[in-house]
């Protein structure tokens, strides 16, 4: 009796959260899959039937392939640049600067992370636009610039994306570097490793979990980004994310939008699974495998 | 030479912080500039902030954002706390599946979740608007609450609850008198955190906003696409400072690391 009651209580406590998650996240994704097979947006009195047309459109027109690979490349560039900037940053905060500064610097990294995306992008538009602050600053130090024309270009999109995802990368790497056991480095030193060897053979391998977490947290959202390309890239910023947005907001071809969004979802899931397997293998080798 | 090498990390951290904050600072300063064309150098004036208070669209969008944020924060925190308690305190079959289910809403790009929600609501005839946004925002906020509070529950000693129970307290009294005070900092943190998730959310609101109803991020998006006005600087500055304050307060409650 009390066994049943206990289980019932647990069930009732879990029910609201999980039914909400089911209703607001998982079921919509299924509905999206269903829509991707429709011949037309079911508005008005149109005849709608099931078809593979939308997927055929995606795979037969080079256009969508080009934009998908552009999104993937953008994610690669953004992730790589973030990693390049973030690793030294995290290393400096965790291991080089005075410990009493850590908390404050940590907060300074977090604040832009949670500031509004649109506010951030708007601030970049103000800086990068023709006649904007950057142009003014470059002119005033004597550079002969007429029109900078950075806003509405591909580099502007990359700048906006790096600005948005850099804090994630810094945080995830900082966390592992901060917890790094100093005695391992001392042991390496006492065995004769020089600072570079200690860094490359002890610090870097042990920080890999943080790096991977940062890569996942950057790569996947960038694949699905559309605000940065739209607002900072203009025409140069057309990507798979902006195409999806267009299908829903401008063109009202919902089934095609659903098909593209579903393919994007598949790519994301494949990547998540691959990364998950990689992390699991990494954990196994770092615990069990001593060379 | 040696001194310069030692200063290098300081210089580097400063440069990265400059990259992170310079555009935001410039945006705030430009909102205080009298010139409507962003002419430099800056002449300080609060004219754009004054205009803001006469802009009915922005004011009602702001009110929508705040009310929506409060509703989302309360709902997600209450429901998420209950689930977190079960997940943190009990072992049962299917628990790891339930924990895995928290990952997709966090990991899947919001664009995909947003268009999927648009389609679902179209299908079951939930009209676009604040209620639809509320349903979506709570959905993406819940996993964060559950993860945050599970950690908090695990950080408190279950022996305290057991002691209260063995002294004759009912489960409800135990929760209210023992558990709740222990996790209160986590709950306040989760409230502020989920408020920020909703308040800053653009993607889901964008797809679920019908003409005439909007939140602040949606208003800013359409304003930017129309062109630049210092009024957007002003409202953006307010939003940035507001969010920053909330995060600074909540970070004292949540142990991020």
For residue A290, the model assigns a pLDDT of 39
> Which residue, chain included where needed, has tokens 């200690």?
A198
B24 pLDDT above the threshold of 60: yes
Residues in A touching B125 (Cβ below 8 Å): none
Q: Is the dihedral of CA B230, B195, A19, B132 positive or negative?
A: negative
Q: Assess contact for B80 and B145: CB atoms under 8 A.
A: yes
Residue B115 lies in a domain: yes
Supply B11's token pair: 């210089």
Spatial separation of the C-alpha atoms in residues A265 and B110, rounded to whole Å: 11
Answer yes or no: is A272 within a domain.
Answer: no
Give a yes or no: residue B19 inside a domain: no
Residue B181 placed within a domain: yes
ipTM: 0.90
Q: How far is CA A90 from CA A105, A121, A159, B9, in A?
A: 10, 24, 20, 10
Minimal Cβ distance to B116: which of A32, A89, A124: A32
Decide if A129 and B228 are in contact by the 8 Å CB cutoff: yes
Tokens 């009602």: give the residue.
Answer: B60
Would residue A82 count as lying in a domain?
yes
* Structural domain total, chain A: 1
Of A14, A29, A221, the CB nearest to B116: A29
pLDDT per residue as tens digits for the range B39-50: 666 777 787 888
Helix then strand then coil, in percent of chain B rounded to 5, is: 75, 0, 20
Please spell the DSSP secondary structure of B59-71, one letter per residue: HHHHHHHHHHHHH
Considering only the beta carbons, identify the residue of B24, B138, B224 that sits closest to A24: B138
> Does residue A40 fall inside a structural domain?
no
- Inter-chain touch A221–B92, beta carbons under 8 Å: no
Mean pLDDT of B206-221: 91
Q: Does residue B157 register a pLDDT over 90? A: no
Whether A239 shows a pLDDT value over 90: the answer reads yes
Q: Is B221 part of any domain?
A: yes
Q: In which domain, by residue range, is B238 found?
A: 46-251
- Residue B4: is its pLDDT beyond 50? yes
In this predicted model, which residue has the larger pLDDT, B18 or A133? B18
Cβ atoms of residues B78 and B144 within 8 Å: no
Tell me whether residue B242 is in a domain: yes
Task: Please answer yes or no on whether A244 and B105 come within 8 Å at the CB atom.
Answer: no
Average pLDDT, chain B: 87
Q: Report the chain A residue with the minimal C-alpha distance to residue B220.
A: A118
Average pLDDT of the residues in A137-166? 85
CATH number at residue B169: 1.10.3720.10
Please report the pLDDT score of residue A261 as a whole number: 96
Q: Is the pLDDT of residue A84 over 80?
A: yes
From B201, which residue of chain A is nearest by alpha-carbon distance? Answer: A116
Q: Answer whether A92 sits within 8 Å of B111, measured CB to CB.
A: no
B1 part of a folded domain:
no
What is the residue range of A190's domain? Answer: 64-238
Region of poorest pLDDT, from A68-72, A161-165, B156-160: B156-160
Q: How much is the pTM? A: 0.90
Residue pairs between chains A and B whose CB atoms are closer than 8 Å: 240
* A258: closest CA of chain B, how far (Å): 8
B185 Cβ neighbours under 8 A, 6+ residues apart: B152, B253
How many domains does chain B fold into?
A: 1
Q: How far is CA A127 from CA A130, A229, B44, in A?
A: 9, 16, 18
Mean pLDDT along residues B75-83: 96
Computed over its alpha carbons, how large is the radius of gyration of chain B?
23
The answer to whether position B14 is within a domain reads no
């Amino acid at each position: 009796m009390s066994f049943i009651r206990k289980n019932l209580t647990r069930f009732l406590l879990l029910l609201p959260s999980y039914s909400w998650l089911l209703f607001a996240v998982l079921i919509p994704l299924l509905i999206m899959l269903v829509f991707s097979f429709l011949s037309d947006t079911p508005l008005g009195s149109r005849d709608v039937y099931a078809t593979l047309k939308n997927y055929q459109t995606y795979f037969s027109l080079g256009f969508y392939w080009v934009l998908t690979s552009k999104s993937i490349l953008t994610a690669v560039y953004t992730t790589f640049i973030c990693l390049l900037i973030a690793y030294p940053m995290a290393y400096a905060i965790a291991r080089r600067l005075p410990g009493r500064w850590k908390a404050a610097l940590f907060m300074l990294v977090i604040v832009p992370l949670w500031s509004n995306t649109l506010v951030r992008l708007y601030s970049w538009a103000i800086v990068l636009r023709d006649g904007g602050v950057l142009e003014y600053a470059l002119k005033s130090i004597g550079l002969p610039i007429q029109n900078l024309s950075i806003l509405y270009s591909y580099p502007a999109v990359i700048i906006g994306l790096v600005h948005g995802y850099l804090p994630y990368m810094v945080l995830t790497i900082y966390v592992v570097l901060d917890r790094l056991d100093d005695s391992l480095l001392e042991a390496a030193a006492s065995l004769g490793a020089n600072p570079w060897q200690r860094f490359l053979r002890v610090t870097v391998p042990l920080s890999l979990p943080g790096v991977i977490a940062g890569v996942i947290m950057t790569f996947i959202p960038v694949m699905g980004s559309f605000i940065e390309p739209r607002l900072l890239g203009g025409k140069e910023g057309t990507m798979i994310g902006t195409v999806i947005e267009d299908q829903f907001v401008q063109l009202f071809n919902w089934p095609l939008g659903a098909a593209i969004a579903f393919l994007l979802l598949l790519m994301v899931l494949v990547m998540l699974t691959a990364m998950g397997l990689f992390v699991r293998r990494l954990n196994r080798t770092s615990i069990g495998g001593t060379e | 030479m040696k001194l310069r090498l030692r200063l290098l990390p300081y210089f580097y951290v400063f440069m990265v912080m400059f990259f992170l904050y310079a555009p935001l600072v410039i945006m705030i300063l430009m909102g205080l500039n009298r010139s409507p064309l962003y002419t430099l150098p800056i002449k300080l004036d609060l004219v754009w902030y004054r205009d803001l208070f006469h802009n009915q669209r922005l004011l009602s969008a702001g009110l929508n954002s705040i009310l929506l944020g409060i509703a989302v924060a309360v709902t997600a925190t209450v429901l998420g706390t209950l689930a977190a308690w079960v997940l943190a305190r009990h072992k049962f079959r299917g628990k790891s599946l339930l924990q895995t289910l928290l990952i997709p809403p966090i990991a899947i790009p919001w664009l995909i979740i947003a268009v999927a929600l648009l389609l679902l609501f179209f299908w079951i005839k939930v009209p676009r608007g604040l209620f639809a946004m509320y349903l979506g925002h709570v959905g993406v906020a819940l996993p964060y609450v559950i993860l945050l509070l599970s950690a908090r529950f695990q950080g408190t000693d279950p022996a305290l609850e057991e002691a209260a129970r063995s002294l004759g307290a009912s489960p409800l009294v135990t929760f209210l008198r023992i558990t709740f005070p222990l996790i209160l900092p986590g709950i306040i943190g989760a409230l502020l955190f989920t408020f920020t998730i909703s308040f800053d959310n653009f993607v889901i609101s964008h797809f679920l906003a019908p003409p005439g109803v909007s939140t602040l991020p949606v208003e800013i998006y359409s304003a930017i696409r129309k062109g630049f006005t210092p009024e957007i600087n002003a409202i953006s500055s307010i939003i940035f400072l507001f969010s920053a304050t909330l995060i600074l307060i909540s970070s004292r409650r949540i142990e991020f690391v």
